[in-house]
Amino acid sequence: MTLYEILEVSEKASNEVIEKAYKTLAKKYHPDLQQTPEEKRNAEKKMQKINEAYETLKDENKRIEYDKELQAEKDKQTEYYQYNNMQKNINTQPKNNTEFNQQSQYIQNDNYRSATEWQQILANLSPKERDRLMKRIQRDAREEYTRVAEDYYRQKGYIVKHKTTPREYLAGFITIVIIIALLGLLWLIPPTRRWMISVYNGNIAVKIVVDLIINFIKALFGKI
């Protein structure tokens, strides 16, 4: 709720209107005029907000600063709504060649391809290959669009929650498998194995991490 809403006036209200609104509300919510203890407590809280709002808006300099902050907050909310709408549009599937050509421009290979080049590529593909390629392009376009949008709003000061995609889960899983495979290969080499054992025995942190991983693997395969 803005200070103007607390005083029940518009943002363009004159000083006279603000003064009159304050007096009306001060009379309405004066604690001494309330009948029950609960109404008195609520009136005191209400009057505290009313007084704070009035103290800011009656002062010309304070009001100017507040209006700037209020406008900045509105702009931020507008950008937030635009971001949400953009996220919804990302998931929209292209319905015709025009939308497909627009989305294909987001795809980055060695060089950006024009819409004409994409049409030539599609013309030389079978229907199944064309469908598979278009799905990949749509997926890459959404991911690139999302990445750019998230970077933009992070720079604006927003906290953006990134939704992990299946491809990112797969990439993480493949990375873990590769690391485990490399460690396994290194373990088969006697000099490297002795070095790994010495690191394990001589570093408490490494020992704890390795033991946790081993116990997790044992528990996992034990359930299987």
What is the pLDDT at residue 119?
66
Question: Which of 162, 112, 103 lies closest to 136 in space, CA to CA?
Answer: 103
Tens-of-pLDDT digits for all 224 residues of the chain? 889 899 899 888 898 999 999 999 988 888 887 888 888 888 888 889 999 999 999 888 998 998 988 888 877 776 656 555 555 554 444 444 444 444 444 444 434 455 566 667 767 778 888 788 778 877 777 777 777 777 777 777 777 666 677 777 888 889 988 988 888 898 899 888 898 888 888 888 888 988 888 887 777 666 54
Give the three-state DSSP class for 33. Answer: helix
What is the pLDDT at residue 109?
45
What is the pLDDT at residue 17?
92
Determine the Cα–Cα distance for residues 83 and 49; give it in Å rounded to an integer.
33
What is the pLDDT at residue 201?
87
pLDDT one-digit tens code per residue, 121-145: 767 778 888 788 778 877 777 777 7
Q: Is 105 exposed, middle or buried (0-12, 13-18, 19+ CB in 10 A)?
A: middle
pLDDT one-digit tens code per residue, 73-98: 877 776 656 555 555 554 444 444 44
pTM: predicted TM-score of the whole model, two decimal places: 0.39
In which residue ranges of the chain is CATH 1.10.287.110 found?
Answer: 3-58
What is the pLDDT at residue 118?
62
Determine the Cα–Cα distance for residues 159 and 156; give it in Å rounded to an integer.
9
What is the pLDDT at residue 202?
87
Quickly name the fold that domain 3-58 has: Helix Hairpins (1.10.287)
* Displacement of CA 141 from its chain's centroid (Å): 18
In angstroms, the Cα distances linking 178 to 55, 76, 174, 185, 191 are 65, 44, 6, 11, 21
